[in-house]
Amino acid sequence: MSQATRILLALVAGIALGIAAVAFDKDWALRVTGVTQPIGEAWLHGLQMVIVPLIVGLLVTGIAATAEAARAGRIAGRAVVLFVVVLWCTTLMSAMVMPVLLDLWPLPEAWSVALRSALTATAPLGKVPTLADFFATIVPTNVVAAASGDAFLPLTVFTLAFAFAITRLEDAARQRLTDLFQAITDAMLVIIGWVLKLAPIGIFALAYGVGARTGAAAFGALIHYIVMVSAIGLIVLLAAYPVARFAGGVPLRRFARAVAPAQAVAISTQSSLASLPAMLKGSAEIGVAPATAGIVLPVAVAIFRATSPAMNLAVALYVAHWLGVPIGPGQLAAGIATAAITTMGSVSLPGTVSFFASVAPVAFAMGVPIEALGLLVAVETVPDLFRTVGNVTMDVAVTGVVGKRD
């Protein structure tokens, strides 16, 4: 049984047991949450404790890899520029579309209230940050204080500047620092691997409390979440077709036929890397020279995830909606910037690790509690399908654009 299956079963079992326990004896069932809730929170804290060093390490090594790719030649440099443009465009799309989707199909208020009480006792409903607050806090006065206070956007801005500064050093010094941060990242991934081995226990404990306090509303909310976040991934996937048509000059039917085998591999493996041979073949079918595709696609697989910032921001916005946290212009701007900047640092991570490493900084930057992520990771398998297929489709589309101008 895969780890993802064990996690999903733990989620379903925890919610179901909580519902059954309340039906049997409500007072006793709620008293049990006094034991299960601390267990679940301790597991969640185990993931939280490595996020700061992991994000710093991933950003430094990710920027180093991006800079190396840009220096590798004209084709790779052009591809990197297009990747950045696509990432920011999809993030802005998510910021505009996700609130509209939530307005059109909101989570039922009764479910939202029940889940809010089950997941967090103190939702941050204070002053909603404005755009002026965003610009006033984006540059940290004390990077250590920013790290200790989970101020991820200022920390990300400093780390980004630090990472680009490293790329300007002489080769020996640059390699030493990059190797250091790669080692830090590898060590954090080992710790996360240990914590994730306990994921079925932690998620079961969290899910029991949610089931006991909310009943069947928990299952309905999870289905609602899957549909809403997957819709953002689907939009990014569909956007690849006009990108290929209007920017790459590839007829839609030809592009659809060429990319279909890579999409099939992506669905079956949930891996962009495993889809690379099919992507190379599809790129050739739309007229991209093998030499160009042989440069662009490996770089895309290494540093580019078209759906990640859009879907990561969508998750944070969904949790805010779920918990009733108001999102002002400053918070939204912080979420957009954090999602777009951090995505290149987590592209090589396994799905479960990537979910926490990518979404938690966005949630922190927006002031959104992350307790719900412990439950949402258990149903990430379905949205992850849209992530992978969207990434593969956009990779081939961008390759077509680069190939047209080669």
- Per-residue pLDDT 10s for the chain (406 aa) are 677 788 889 999 999 999 999 998 989 998 998 899 899 889 888 888 888 888 888 888 878 877 777 666 778 788 888 999 999 999 999 999 999 999 999 888 877 777 777 765 444 444 555 666 666 777 888 888 877 777 777 888 888 889 889 988 998 999 999 999 989 988 988 888 888 888 899 999 988 988 888 888 888 888 999 999 999 999 999 999 999 999 999 999 999 999 999 999 999 888 888 899 999 999 999 999 998 999 889 888 877 889 999 999 999 999 998 888 888 888 898 889 888 887 765 555 555 667 877 888 888 888 888 878 888 888 888 898 999 999 999 999 999 999 886 6
Rounded to whole angstroms, how far apart are CA atoms 234 and 385? 10
CA angle 284, 286, 289 (to 5 degrees): 40
Which pLDDT belongs to residue 128? 52
Going by C-alpha positions, the residue among 370, 365, 379 that lies closest to residue 44 is 370
Which pLDDT belongs to residue 122? 42
Which pLDDT belongs to residue 350? 57
Amino acid at 48: Q
Rounded to whole angstroms, how far apart are CA atoms 237 and 387? 8
Rounded to whole angstroms, how far apart are CA atoms 172 and 6? 45
Which pLDDT belongs to residue 32? 92
Residues 182 and 57: beta-carbon distance below 8 Å: yes
Provide DSSP, 66-117.
HHHHHHT-HHHHHHHHHHHHHHHHHHHHHHHHHHHHHHHSPPPHHHHHHHHH
Going by C-alpha positions, the residue among 358, 257, 284, 368 that lies closest to residue 322 is 368
Residues 120 and 325: beta-carbon distance below 8 Å: no
Rounded to whole angstroms, how far apart are CA atoms 188 and 203? 21
Give the pair of three-digit tokens for residue 363.
Answer: 């949630």
Going by C-alpha positions, the residue among 320, 307, 310, 382 that lies closest to residue 106 is 320
Residues 52 and 159: beta-carbon distance below 8 Å: no
Rounded to whole angstroms, how far apart are CA atoms 181 and 164? 14
- What is the chain's Cα-based Rg? 21
> Which SS3 state, helix, strand or coil, does residue 125 take?
coil
Indicate the angle between helix axes 217-242 and 109-119, nearest 10 degrees: 100
Rounded to whole angstroms, how far apart are CA atoms 128 and 84? 29
Rounded to whole angstroms, how far apart are CA atoms 323 and 196? 25
The maximal CA–CA distance of the chain, rounded, in angstroms, is: 70
Which of the following CATH numbers is that of domain 3-404: 1.10.8, 1.10.3860, 1.10.3470, 1.10.287?
Answer: 1.10.3860
- Distance set, CA 383 to CA 114, 181, 278 (Å): 24, 30, 22
Residues 372 and 111: beta-carbon distance below 8 Å: no
Amino acid at 2: S
- Distance set, CA 68 to CA 76, 164, 177, 352, 400 (Å): 9, 11, 15, 27, 22
Whether the predicted model's global pTM rises above the 0.75 cut:
yes
